[in-house]
Structure 1
């Protein structure tokens, strides 16, 4: 694929996004209301479908197909837990947040515990989301750097600046209302890339529907369940982790919940969450199937596998499947990256404006909100450039994983708030929330020694939340 083809694809893609932004942006005084809440007018089926792309993200788009060689379909155990987590979101969190008419979900912590707890929850979200969004956009920027910007000797920081500027331009006016519609387009492109690649491989290997199914089902890489309790992919570890990570990183995440709260009423929001969960599960099965077929294709043609599993899909799509499939793949990776980055930017702006600055949808200043939006755009740019300066993907990945520790305090705060009626000393909440990730990290490092060979995976989140709950119980309000 030539650089001119790549730039043409990117240009046309952003023209469509700008058109969506133009038609979904409110004028005048209604801008902030629309930016934060989309005027509570989003169609639940658009939100549900669009959230698939934002949740999959560029990390999933690249990583899930590559992981099947090592972990098989074990990731599906995690997804089974996700489904239970979405039930909790639909029937516990959605009614709670709608009953309080929240803009930012961390306003609940202010009502329940006090302003410091609210700001603490918001700051933990901002830290997690900034690092997470920057990491996902960093991966996409590397692909675009190789596919286009290197051909013109454009430095990486310039290419990142251009990408973030484009995202800022189509989100700064429309906000969440624009995101609901752009997510729909981006989900379509992301799923189209996976389905078309599967079709391309099947056609090249001479597989019909029946033999395609048997090739995937009979592969050793399609193993789902692991019942070894010491294994990192032990079923109950994955299932429980999937459930609580979904509750934490979706139900207690402003990025995701802001979209749910744009529906007209709680019933439509619940329908949205359950529909999204079903489509998301099916989408994951598609990407796992794609992973099996990518390895089958590489084996059939004796193609040397890249050293990193994450590079498998990009390597084959850009070099072996033909120009059209390469174009579809490029659209998919762009959509996957921007669907998570643009919504993260909007959610960060909302949380900071509402929770830190005390703004709301009716009295907020459009200028102040736009300046905050611009500030977070620049912050994402700085974090991505810092990631690149590490020049070590494993370091960047570790930073991304470390950001996950910040969801433990959020889970602990909301759990304690919802399931107890006890008050706490608001001034001490932030110290408890800072201490719990540190203790969790120390426990994780020494778990094999302390727990007879047991090694934590995603479920370290529960330890983190448990420490937070214990700490909150020790600081009752006098």
Structure 2
């Protein structure tokens, strides 16, 4: 049996395990099990499982690759600069726990966008849900594309399997084990998948340290000497200037966790507010450690590659229409050409092309699949929940039986699986190598209106009575944000990075202020 077939066999065995878990957790399930797990989830299970959802393939593959700086572009972090964003995430989780979780529990929500309907009107409720569905579908499929592409390039392409078949099979796997149980199932499966992801992380660090005959301290010293461990980017014009990155990380967390149905449906599936807060803060603290470990692994991967014959070469590339010289990192072939393994390709190339022993390759592939499934299962369940609860009003529909509601929910679930497949194929056509930053940029445009809408609802007491006013503002704000971003890039040296979401949210808030009515909110149920 060749190595590729062996690895695929382990993927199949792993998936069978998920189906077994799904079978036991989905017995006697109903729509409330699917949407919020009947509010019986254990906080510590949710906290641990959310690590896998938050990390996904982006952290597993992209974050280690960001340690090596590519000069001439601004889309990849250098050294440990990404950790400044992680610190922003950490602060953001405390804000979510202090402000948003109490609100959601007080109103006993199944969908968090129900708040917008009660605070403003039906228009706001549906707009909030639509922006979430767009945001989560794009973000989740970008993460999915990253992992699917790795499996395709390093395992399945050599077997003659087309990319679209790989994507479809993996999505069908996710569909099968979430079809019945929803949140009730993924709280358990995410816990398992997070465990495998962390095992893979630790195993790779231990192996490389042993192979290079280095202690943890010695390895860190070498990384420091090679300038792989710097945390601070002090250039205010850069997209990764540390203050912008921290601030952007805070608001990305508020939007992509606190205003995101996928992340919050797991939190509000916990039995009470106190335990839900414990879940959120435990999860936040754990992410600080895990992300630092992934960055350390990234430095070790570069050291390992250098030790095994890799090197840097200057290659001309086009950036914004200008020719610049970028650092390409990789191994030279017999003709002297460099095969680039920098960025997203670094970890899988070393793990799956014979540089690591087979046992470690198996651990890597299981970790990789474990990074794929939490970002896919939660997103698929969440967009299905939001569409059914917010747009179809399925919970309140008295004209349908429970069986009819369940059948409709399954049809929606299947439809979104097809939508996810189409979006993965779009990302394949784009073929962007720096997915970690692309996801943050997309989030700036799609989550910004949600940020502004929730902020206006929480921090003001004004109503919006004009018909379609909220729709007009939430469409206009991302367009204006895009125009500002392109103008600033074209005419100044300043580069808007992750603070894009703040600009978009602020423009939404200002737009809502301009169309507010003179009536004040008196009571929020």
* TM-score range normalised by the length of the shorter chain: over 0.9
Output aligned runs, 1:399-414, within 5 Å: 400=439, 401-414=441-454
Deviation of the 1:131 alpha carbon: 1.3
2:384 to 346, 349, 371: 349
Q: Is the 8 A contact 2:444 2:498 kept in 1?
A: no
Structure 2 CA distance, aligned partners of 1:373 and 1:299? 46
Query: Structure 1, residues 191-220: CA drift from partner, whole Å, max 9, x if none?
Result: 111111111110101113442443445541
1:392 to 419, 431, 445: 431
2:477 to 436, 441, 455: 436
Q: Is the 8 A contact 1:6 1:147 kept in 2?
A: no
Structure 2 CA distance, aligned partners of 1:448 and 1:383? 28
1:300 aligns with 2:307: yes
| SS at 2:447 equivalent | helix
Deviation of the 1:236 alpha carbon: 1.3
1:331 to 366, 369, 373: 366
1:14 aligns with 2:48: no
1:262 aligns with 2:269: yes
| SS at 1:474 equivalent | helix
My pick for the range that moved more, 324-333 or 394-403, is 394-403
1:252 aligns with 2:251: no
My pick for the range that moved more, 97-106 or 391-400, is 391-400
Q: Is the 8 A contact 2:62 2:434 kept in 1?
A: no
Aligned residues: 474
Structure 1 CA distance, aligned partners of 2:371 and 2:253? 19
Structure 2 CA distance, aligned partners of 1:404 and 1:326? 35
Deviation of the 1:233 alpha carbon: 2.2
Structure 1 CA distance, aligned partners of 2:31 and 2:194? 26
Query: Structure 1, residues 3-35: CA drift from partner, whole Å, max 9, x if none?
Result: 3212211111111101111111141xx411100
Deviation of the 1:448 alpha carbon: 4.8
Q: Is the 8 A contact 2:67 2:299 kept in 1?
A: yes
Structure 1 CA distance, aligned partners of 2:175 and 2:307? 44
TM-score after normalising by structure 1:
0.95
1:391/1:462 Cα in 2 relative to 1: closer, same or farther (>3 Å)? Answer: closer
Output aligned runs, 1:187-198, within 5 Å: 187-198=194-205
The runs of 4+ residues in structure 1 deviating greater than 4 Å are 216-219, 361-364, 394-400
TM-score after normalising by structure 2:
0.86
1:211 aligns with 2:206: no
Gaps spanning 5+ residues in structure 1: where? none
Q: Is the 8 A contact 1:125 1:254 kept in 2?
A: yes
Structure 1 CA distance, aligned partners of 2:517 and 2:143? 41
Alpha-carbon RMSD: 2.0
Query: Structure 1, residues 415-443: CA drift from partner, whole Å, max 9, x if none?
Result: 00000110013521111101101100111
1:148/1:359 Cα in 2 relative to 1: closer, same or farther (>3 Å)? Answer: same
Name the structure with the higher helix share. Answer: 1
Structure 2 CA distance, aligned partners of 1:216 and 1:63? 18
Structure 2 CA distance, aligned partners of 1:125 and 1:440? 18
Structure 1 CA distance, aligned partners of 2:269 and 2:238? 41
